[in-house]
Amino acid sequence: MAEDRIIVFFDLETTGLDTSSCDIIQVAAVYEENVFNKYTLPRQAMTPSAKQVTGFTVRPDGLFLHDKPVETVPLTEVLNSFISFLRSFRRPVLLAAHGAKRFDAPVLTRVLRRHSLLQQFQQVVSGFLDTFLLSKHLYPRLSRHSQEYMVQHFLRMSYNAHNALEDARMLQKLYKRWSPNNGDILCSSFRGVGCFY
């Protein structure tokens, strides 16, 4: 990885798992002590499994997390704010998520494209790093590679999983614990780890 590029850890919470149609509810990211966390009201209903896993519900009077109201902003504002947050580092960004290739990257790029913001995003973000694939590369003998399992296994902690901000924070801690070298990231990119759009 080029020295001038930074890794920002992020996560999305959505109305479901269909990458071609789900709506974003929460976007969160962390880089060191810098934090981004915004919620938006989805246009579509949440799937029962998404409600159960995330604790979010959508009601006529807004978005609720575990029955407490959550302040939301329009999705376009969330996306523009996220790009501004990433731009503030004044260096190219590699966005890391656990499951980025399978889920987070396709959802985020689809939504950015729909809002005509993908080009602005690509000026700041050089690509994605999938830490799920990285974990499989680094620790192939582990029986599971879910983020919750990895946090328990490597950090001996439990946390509020499926909250985008907590997921991003824990992913940053995991990554620091793993301390992958540039070779782990770049040389493995042909097996799905590293930058892609």
Which CATH number goes with the domain that contains 75?
A: 3.30.420.10
CB-based contact 110:79 (threshold 8 Å): no
For the chain, what is the domain count?
1
pLDDT at 185: 73
- Kindly state whether residue 1 falls inside one of the protein's structural domains: no
What pTM was estimated for this model as a whole? 0.92
Whether residue 197 lies inside any domain: the answer is: no
Q: What is the pLDDT along the chain (197 residues), one digit of tens a residue?
A: 445 679 999 999 999 999 999 999 999 999 999 999 999 999 999 999 999 999 999 999 999 999 999 999 999 999 999 999 999 999 989 999 999 999 999 999 999 999 999 999 999 998 899 999 899 989 999 999 999 999 999 999 988 888 999 999 999 999 999 999 887 776 434 323 334 43
Range of the domain at 186: 6-191
Q: In the chain, at which residue ranges do the beta strands (DSSP E only) sit?
A: 6-14, 24-31, 34-39, 56-59, 62-65, 68-70, 93-97, 125-130
179, part of any domain: yes
Quote the pLDDT of residue 191.
29
Asked if residue 43 belongs to a domain, the reply is yes
pLDDT, residue 3, reads: 55
Q: Is residue 196 part of a domain?
A: no
Phi, psi at residue 25, to the nearest 5°?
A: -110, -40
Q: Judge contact between 95 and 8, C-beta under 8 A.
A: yes
Exposure string of 31-67, with b = 16+ CB inside 10 Å and e = fewer, is beeeebbbbbebeeebeeebeeebbbbbeeeebebee
Domain annotation covers residue 10: yes
CA angle 79, 133, 96 (to 5 degrees): 25
